[in-house]
Amino acid sequence: MVTLNCDELSTREVNSLLHRLPVGSAVTITNPRGRHNLAVGLSNALEVTIDGNAGYFIGGLCSGPKITVNGFVGWSVGENLMSGSVRVNGNASESAGASARGGEIYVSGDASSRAGISLKGGTLVVAGDVGHMSGFMAQAGVMLIGGDARDALGDSLYEAVIYVAGAIDSLGSDAIVEDLEDSDVHLVKELISRSGFDHISPEDVTRVASARRLYNFEALSGVAY
Amino acid sequence: MCGIVGLHLKEAALHRRLGELLTPMLLAMSERGPDSAGIAIYGDRALDGSLKWSLRASAGEIPWDDVGARLGRELDTIVQMRRVADAAVVTLDGDPKLVMKTLTEWFPDVTVVSFGHSVEVFKDVGRPAEICKRYGIAERTGFQGLGHTRMATESAVTTEHSHPFAAGADLCLVHNGSFSNYASVRRRLSDAGITFQTDNDSEVAARFLAYEIEHGADLGEALESLMNRLDGFYTLLVATESQFAVVRDSFACKPAVIAETDEYVAMASEYHALATLPGIDKAQVVEPMPREIHLWSR
């Protein structure tokens, strides 16, 4: 087990040491004290534990590692994640999982505004609530929210699907609630099993998807201008 | 981008450590604002209703002894003057309007940075670390402090354009963001007789709050009016002699984190600015929601 102490190492040193470790290594990063950009851009499948509260872009741009944060994180955790996972045992600030193309991001507490913004194929599971404009312009992938969603959920959604266990303050433009099918229940069950957020009842979630009314211009819309 | 920090000490035993605690918070925000920085320190109240005036030169060398003597003569009062680097803090008992008039008439190159019973404001162009050192911020005591590191987007990089903006007695504002309709709000305030020192958008917000408070609003009500009147992106930290408030715009475009313990309330743009505070591991740390007014009174 490798330990990297942020009190002794710069962020660049921490990341550079991580990049050089062989696949399968287990690493603990200590004393993060809100440090940004920890464990970013890793393409080696490490097991990284960040012990404490961390800053922005934790685990961003990674392909392969399994990252766990024992604390809260700042903006854009798992931003542009390609594969692997980032698990936050705490709350996440804004834009959790922004533009993630693959991989899985789990937040055991709440996530703030714009969670899953521009999601491009990744999976974002939040045990608690999410802030306003979550799922904004999400193109592909899936979000599961164990608590409530604030205003304008799924605004301008493309093909991503959002499941919400709690209440939705309001849906964003072009987002609609659709019937839950068996395939949805299976998917949600699988996400619950992977995340361990078993307070969610898979048959009782709400499915939010795109109404696809913004995909094309309507010829008659012209008269509005 | 800009960085803001604030510390509101509930525990009197920490008052002697205000500057020591606030300085690393501000320095942690240096990357967010390398252009200029400013600090408001709320400390010992001036005696017997006197006001403290934080003054600085907008141009050239100021004959500070002459400034003190002239103010004493015009206002017929005793003037205490403390020099802090190239700035000065003047304490005197007298009508603020007459103080302003005297300074404008006799010393047009002197800028009033702040005035009030408790507050002193120091700001300058340059790296936050140099500015803290220049004004001896780490040694300062007090019950409350605000700080700002600036990366200018809306107006020039000068000391006048830097934060905090002190618009009324003991009222200070620091802002991260940009207002879009500030010109029309400034026009309305100008029509009502309010004068401005700069073309800066944040100064409009500060003077708007001062105007609302002068017309009977409390700080919470004034912030509510601000959210309805001013459009744009903002995280604001506003303090008076008795209150400390944080508010974010309806999109929550600019970051903010608040940590609270039995000893203090601390606020910063990013959490790592709070990570050096004593007892932070036990603090309740929250991210304020859009349009939520978080306000503490002492």
Which of A74, A112, A113 faces B271 most closely, judged by CB atoms?
Answer: A74
Which tens digits make up the pLDDT trace of B89-117?
Answer: 999 999 999 999 999 999 999 999 999 99
DSSP states of B192-224: TT---SSS-HHHHHHHHHHHHHHTT--HHHHHH
Q: What confidence score (pLDDT) does residue B284 get?
A: 94
Q: What confidence score (pLDDT) does residue B277 get?
A: 98
Q: Which residue of A has its CA nearest to B276?
A: A33
Q: What confidence score (pLDDT) does residue B154 get?
A: 78
| Contact check, Cβ <8 Å, B255/A75 | yes
Residue type, A11: T
CB pairs under 8 A between A and B: 44
Q: Catalytic: B2?
A: yes
Which of B272, B285, B290 faces A33 most closely, judged by CB atoms?
Answer: B272
User: B43-50 contacts: CB < 8 A, separation 24 or more?
Assistant: B43/B15, B43/B18, B43/B118, B43/B120, B43/B140, B43/B141, B43/B142, B43/B143, B44/B118, B44/B141, B44/B142, B45/B117, B45/B118, B45/B241, B46/B91, B46/B117, B46/B118, B48/B93, B49/B93, B49/B117, B50/B91, B50/B92, B50/B93, B50/B117
Residues of chain B found within 8 Å of residue A136, distances taken between Cβ atoms: none
Over range A183-201, report the average pLDDT. 98
Over range A147-170, report the average pLDDT. 98
pLDDT of A221 above 90:
no
Residues of chain A found within 8 Å of residue B272, distances taken between Cβ atoms: 33-36, 55
Question: What is the pairing mode between strands B51-57 and A2-5?
Answer: unpaired
The helix/strand/coil state of A136 is coil
Domain tally, chain A: 1
Q: For residue B1, give the DSSP letter.
A: -
Residues of chain B found within 8 Å of residue A53, distances taken between Cβ atoms: 271, 275, 285
Domain that holds residue A135: 91-214
Alpha carbons B149 and B1: distance in angstroms, whole number: 9
- Residues of chain B scoring pLDDT < 70: none
Q: What confidence score (pLDDT) does residue A50 get?
A: 98
Q: What confidence score (pLDDT) does residue A220 get?
A: 73
Q: Which residue of B has its CA nearest to A131?
A: B289
Residue A44: inside a domain: no
Q: What confidence score (pLDDT) does residue B210 get?
A: 97
Is the Cβ–Cβ distance between B149 and B124 less than 8 Å? Answer: no
- Min Cα distance B253 → chain A (Å) is 9
Over range A87-105, report the average pLDDT. 98
Residue ranges of domains in chain B:
2-44+118-297
Best to test chain B binding among A10, A112, A114, A155 (most B CBs inside 10 Å): A112
Alpha-carbon Rg for chain A, nearest whole angstrom, is 18
Q: What confidence score (pLDDT) does residue A216 get?
A: 83
Q: What confidence score (pLDDT) does residue B79 get?
A: 95
Position with higher pLDDT, A225 vs B185: B185
Average of per-residue pLDDT values in chain A? 97
The helix/strand/coil state of B138 is helix
Alpha-helical (H) ranges within B40-120 are 64-75, 96-106
Of the candidates B116, B104, B114, the one whose C-alpha atom is nearest the C-alpha of residue B160 is B114
| Contact check, Cβ <8 Å, A55/B270 | yes
Which tens digits make up the pLDDT trace of A16-40?
Answer: 999 999 999 999 999 999 999 999 9
Of B2, B132, B172, B253, the catalytic one is B2
| Contact check, Cβ <8 Å, A94/B255 | yes
Residue A10: inside a domain: no
Alpha carbons A137 and A172: distance in angstroms, whole number: 10
| Contact check, Cβ <8 Å, A131/B252 | yes
- Min Cα distance A156 → chain B (Å) is 16
Is the Cβ–Cβ distance between A175 and A159 less than 8 Å? Answer: no
Q: What confidence score (pLDDT) does residue B155 get?
A: 84
Query: In chain A, what percentage of residues exceed pLDDT 70?
Result: 99
- ipTM of this complex prediction, to 2 decimal places: 0.92
Q: Which residue of A has its CA nearest to B277?
A: A33
Residue A37: inside a domain: no
User: Which option is the CATH number for B2-44+118-297: 3.40.50.2000, 3.40.390.10, 3.60.20.10, 1.10.30.50?
Assistant: 3.60.20.10
Q: What confidence score (pLDDT) does residue A225 get?
A: 67
Instruction: State the Cα angle at B110 between B109 and B115, rounded to 5°.
Output: 155
Residue A46: inside a domain: no
pLDDT of A70 above 70:
yes
Best to test chain A binding among B250, B274, B287 (most A CBs inside 10 Å): B287
Which of B272, B273, B287 faces A112 most closely, judged by CB atoms?
Answer: B287
Residues of chain A found within 8 Å of residue B275, distances taken between Cβ atoms: 33-34, 53
Residues of chain B found within 8 Å of residue A91, distances taken between Cβ atoms: 287
Is the Cβ–Cβ distance between A115 and A135 less than 8 Å? Answer: yes
Which of A55, A131, A133 faces B271 most closely, judged by CB atoms?
Answer: A55
In terms of Cβ atoms closer than 10 Å to its own Cβ (0-12, 13-18, 19+), residue A91 is buried
How many alpha carbons fall within 13 Å on the CB side of residue B136? 11
